[in-house]
Amino acid sequence: MVYCSECKKGFYKRSHLEAHLRIHRGLKPNECWQCGKTYPTLMSLVIHQQIHDRKEPYRCTYCDKTFALKRDWKTHHRTHSGTKPFKCWFCGDGFNEQDELTKHLELHKGEKCYHCKVCNKMFVSYQGFNFHRKSHKNQKLLPCPKCMKTFSNPQSLKLHQVTHSNRKPHKCPTCGKGFKLQSGLHCHQRTHEDLKAYHCTECGKCFSSLQGLKLHNRTHTGLKPYKCTECGKRFTQSPHLKSHMVTHTGERPFLCTTCGKRFTQSSHLRAHERIHTGERPFSCRDCGQSFITSGSLLSHQRSKHTGEKSHYCITCGEFFFTSSLLRVHQLDHTGERPHACSCGKTFKTKGVLRYHLKRFTDHGPAE
């Protein structure tokens, strides 16, 4: 932290302090001291100054176009990867260029929108806006007696308490998956109808529920609030942590009655059972090929039809079809080889370790 000698105000960066000092010198407060341009806010000035601070511009590896700012370079990069980075928050439509979005927004002129002045969130319906607005008021919070999580109204508490029950009375008529809440079933059914109205502004990925989008956003922000008490590993979602905890206990409670194989998760068992039944419920609309899991279908569509590579490596700028391919690639940068054999050899992926163990049957995974 650096402090202003005149008014003792603190700033995290020296460039912010330099901009602030201009006020005491009687100069324009947000004027660039290198080129004289002025800006409405300190933050927009700081972003502009990156142009002067960087010797070499950011260059697109696809078309050699150059950008002074990293954020503009990343946005442009997505136009090559098949995603549409400029999203209309009214209807969710995506566009390759800002000009296209601006032109599209003319279609929504006159449509009512509601703006929360506390957090700048926008709402199309007054009901949604009004319900959200109440969350900012200081209301008496109601604690859940089982986990002590707090809620602003009795309805939200009642809905939450259902999550502590093991009952899943709401069944999907298409695939048989069970849900604790009716709302969970409705969101799930949208995946079969391909209704994905919630769009990620970072990578263009679409989701059938707002909750799904919020959880996905953590992959961009790096937020991992769920920590394993055994090894310290962190996760973006609570179910991911629960699945991980099984690796410490060794428990595999889900049994395939056909072949006796056991699984750590019920979803893994369901996918495995389709191998025995021959069921492949996820079909590609472009070529008709069918798949056991929705993840396999998505990977197929990206690699064979859309060419979309929405997973971006922040170290080298390369794009990948899936998050798993990106994770394996990032091991090249870190040098990490997390899967070890008892013979001392280490591997980047579990699959390569398994192949190694098949070749050398007297070896085993390292403890």
Domain boundaries in the chain? 1-42
**Cross-strand pairs, 282:** 291
CA dihedral 342→343→349→350, nearest 10 degrees, is: -40
Tell me the pLDDT band of 206, cut-offs 50, 70 and 90. confident
User: What phi and psi, each to the nearest 5 degrees, are found at residue 200?
Assistant: -80, 125
pLDDT of residue 29: 64
If one compares 22 and 352, the residue with the highest pLDDT of the two is 352
pLDDT of residue 359: 87
Domain 1-42, CATH 3.30.160.60 — does that match? yes
Contact 185, 179 (CB under 8 A): yes
For the chain, the distance separating the N- and C-terminal CA atoms, rounded to the nearest angstrom, is 45
The pairing of beta strand 311-312 with beta strand 290-291: unpaired
pLDDT of residue 305: 82
Kindly provide the b/e burial profile for residues 302-316, where b requires at least 16 CB atoms within 10 angstroms of the residue's own CB. Answer: beeeeebbbbbeeee
pLDDT in tens, 58-111: 777 677 777 766 667 766 766 665 566 676 766 666 777 778 877 877 776 666
pLDDT in tens, 130-175: 777 777 765 567 888 887 777 777 777 887 888 777 788 888 888 8
pLDDT of residue 160: 80
pTM of the model: 0.37
Contact 46, 71 (CB under 8 A): no
The stretch 302-309 carries a mean pLDDT of 77
Q: What is the mean pLDDT of the chain?
A: 76
If one compares 131 and 125, the residue with the highest pLDDT of the two is 131
Contact 280, 299 (CB under 8 A): no
Sequence-distant (≥ 6) Cβ neighbours of residue 280 within 8 angstroms: 274, 290, 291, 292
Amino acid identity of residue 132, one-letter, is H
Tell me the pLDDT band of 124, cut-offs 50, 70 and 90. low
Among the ranges given (112-126, 156-170, 235-249, 279-293), the one the predictor scored with the smallest mean pLDDT:
112-126
